[in-house]
């Protein structure tokens, strides 16, 4: 009876989705018009159907592995219905399918039919043991269906992307162009595979053409937002280099006539292409030549930001650049960056979240390896700010925010440890009760958000300060946190059952 329910529901769904509710020509033309008005309709339909069908394919594989033979047929019918509905909808509301697409449509539908017929026989199996030939046949059919379906979706998406790119190149209607860019951006949010599909159709080239034209200034922000996503894949970055995208970004960032929102989006692109987490961003031609102008403009954006989001994007780009090339740290110090960044920390309008403080802490940590940095930090009361970062707490408890708090504490401790090479700064940190807070972080897992990374850095910083002022540490703390080997103190304080240090 359970199977019957699934089968009849799917059959009803198939009938309703594959045939018009009304034969009235006016109602059909209205439907076509509404679909044309929404440029994202076919893309959304494709992605939604692809997700549903992929989920059902995963489900049928799981049932097969567990030998749930009676459940296979109902799922196979659901898959077949969704596939036929997708083909019907796509062929009705989009540009004509290519011959290759039609071929894959036929193959997918045939495999769905084969799967339905094979699984129908499985409903008669009374126990969990079935002939191995049946299981092998289902596996082969599922494998072929998955391959054909994946190829069909890729072809359909590629056709849609080509249409959007053609619209951007040939159209001079701002609204239509904005709609096309928005559709491309929505695709980039679906993961690296779709980013690669978009990049393959020269989307990066076309978007930079738009960014270079003043007549399309109102589209620059959305174009840059899409570029930031496309540059998360290697081919996107290669295209950026081919069209001399670094120079274009530099010009836009330094152009004061550009709106703050546009320059913030440029900062987001720069943050992406300099990300230390991506191996293929390490050799950007043209970046070093323009780095001084980029760093100067980003720092100015941080200083003049009217809202927290703009300051976050600019500081994130600066933080990544300090990893990208050590020369950037020297440049920042010459540009009075410490004063600007510490000033931003005290301004709740610009820096108001752990994520933003994480970027500032990253920059300060990287600057602290430069000899001249210490005097700038002391002059701007930076030691107090860094100690304040050791108290970073999450107000929402969201995992992402908690992780940001951990990073702020860790980087603040690292910076204090590096700066404490100077006895004057070490005494200043001790004066502001840094030792007591470090001991608290070591002793209390809750205070450090149960982070062992924070524990290690706090132990190292505590030892550096204790070497300067041993009488500031009580004997019990000294015997447990300072005197033993670092790994022994770590094991004592850590809440982990085993250590991987």
Q: Count of CB atoms within 10 A of residue 242's CB?
A: 13
pTM of the predicted structure, to 2 decimals: 0.81
For residue 501, pLDDT beyond 70: no
DSSP string computed for 322-349? HHH-THHHHHHHHTTHHHHHHHHHT-TT
- State the Cα–Cα distance between residues 114 and 139, nearest whole angstrom: 12
How much is the pLDDT for 221?
A: 95
Tokens of 110: 């045939």
Q: State the Cα torsion 307-359-490-492 to the nearest 10°.
A: 0
For residue 18, pLDDT beyond 50: no
What ranges do the domains of the chain cover? 2-21+35-159, 172-243, 254-376, 381-501
How much is the pLDDT for 453?
A: 93
From 1.10.10.10, 3.30.470.20, 1.10.3210.10, 1.25.10.10, which CATH number describes the 254-376 domain?
Answer: 1.25.10.10
Lowest mean pLDDT among 26-35, 58-67, 282-291, 333-342: 26-35
CA angle 373, 376, 379 (to 5 degrees): 150
Q: Mean pLDDT throughout 118-137?
A: 72
Q: Mean pLDDT throughout 147-164?
A: 90
CATH class of 2-21+35-159: mainly alpha
How much is the pLDDT for 130?
A: 60
- State the Cα–Cα distance between residues 485 and 430, nearest whole angstrom: 23
Q: Count of CB atoms within 10 A of residue 96's CB?
A: 9
For residue 41, pLDDT beyond 90: no
pLDDT tens digits along 249-299: 999 999 989 999 999 999 999 999 998 887 766 567 678 888 999 999 999
Q: Quick check: helix, strand or coil at residue 260? A: helix
> Which range among 34-48, 88-102, 314-328 has the greatest average pLDDT?
314-328
- State the Cα–Cα distance between residues 6 and 392, nearest whole angstrom: 53
Is-same-fold flag (2-21+35-159; 254-376)? no
Q: Mean pLDDT throughout 344-353?
A: 90
Whether the Cβ atoms of residue 270 and residue 249 lie closer than 8 Å to each other: yes
With a CB cutoff of 8 Å and minimum separation 6, the contacts of 310 are 260, 261, 263, 264, 267, 301
Q: Which residue has the higher pLDDT, 181 or 49?
A: 181
User: Average pLDDT of the chain?
Assistant: 85
Q: Mean pLDDT throughout 133-146?
A: 87
Q: Which residue has the higher pLDDT, 130 or 451?
A: 451
């Amino acid at each position: 009876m359970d199977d019957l329910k699934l089968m009849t529901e799917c059959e009803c769904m198939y009938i309703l989705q594959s045939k018009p509710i009304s034969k009235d020509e006016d109602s059909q033309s209205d439907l076509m018009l509404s679909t044309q008005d929404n440029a994202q309709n076919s893309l959304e339909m494709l992605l939604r159907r692809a997700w549903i069908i992929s989920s059902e394919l995963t489900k049928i594989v799981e049932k097969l592995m567990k030998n749930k033979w009676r459940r296979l047929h109902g799922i196979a019918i659901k898959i077949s219905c969704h596939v036929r509905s997708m083909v019907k909808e796509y062929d009705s509301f989009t540009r004509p399918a290519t011959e290759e697409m039609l071929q894959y449509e036929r193959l997918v539908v045939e495999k769905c039919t084969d799967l339905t017929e094979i699984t129908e026989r499985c409903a008669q199996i009374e126990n969990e043991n079935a002939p191995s030939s049946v299981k092998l046949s289902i596996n082969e059919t599922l494998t072929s269906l998955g391959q054909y379906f994946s190829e069909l979706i890729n072809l359909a998406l590629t056709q849609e992307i080509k249409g959007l790119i053609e619209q951007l190149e040939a159209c001079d209607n701002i609204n239509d162009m904005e709609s096309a860019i928005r559709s491309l951006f929505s695709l980039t949010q679906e993961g690296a595979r779709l980013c690669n599909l978009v990049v393959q159709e020269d989307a990066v080239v076309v978007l930079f053409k738009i960014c270079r034209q003043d007549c399309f200034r109102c589209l620059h922000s959305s174009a840059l937002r899409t570029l930031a996503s496309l540059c998360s894949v290697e081919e996107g970055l290669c295209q950026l280099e081919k069209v001399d995208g670094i120079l274009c970004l530099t010009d836009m960032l330094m152009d004061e006539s550009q709106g703050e929102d546009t320059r913030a989006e440029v900062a987001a692109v720069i943050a992406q292409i300099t990300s230390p987490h991506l191996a293929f961003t390490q050799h950007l031609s043209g970046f070093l030549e323009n780095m001084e102008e980029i760093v100067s403009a980003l720092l100015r954006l941080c200083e003049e930001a009217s809202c927290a989001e703009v300051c976050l994007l600019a500081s994130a780009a600066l933080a990544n650049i300090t990893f990208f090339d050590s020369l950037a740290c020297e440049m920042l110090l010459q540009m009075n960056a410490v004063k600007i960044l510490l000033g931003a920390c005290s301004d709740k309008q610009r820096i108001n979240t752990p994520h933003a403080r994480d970027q500032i802490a990253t920059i300060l940590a990287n600057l602290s390896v430069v000899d001249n940095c210490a005097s700038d930090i002391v002059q701007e009361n930076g030691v107090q700010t860094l100690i304040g970062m050791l108290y970073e707490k999450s107000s929402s408890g969201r995992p992402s925010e908690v992780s940001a708090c951990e990073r702020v504490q860790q980087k603040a401790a690292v910076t204090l440890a590096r700066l404490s090479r100077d006895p004057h700064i070490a005494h200043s940190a001790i004066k502001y009760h840094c030792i007591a807070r470090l001991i608290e972080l070591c002793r209390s897992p809750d205070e450090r958000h149960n982070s062992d990374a924070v524990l290690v850095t706090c132990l190292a910083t505590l030892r550096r300060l204790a070497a300067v002022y041993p009488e500031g540490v009580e004997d019990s703390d000294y015997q447990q946190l300072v005197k033993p080997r670092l790994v022994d103190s770590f094991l004592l304080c850590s809440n982990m059952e085993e250590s991987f240090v």
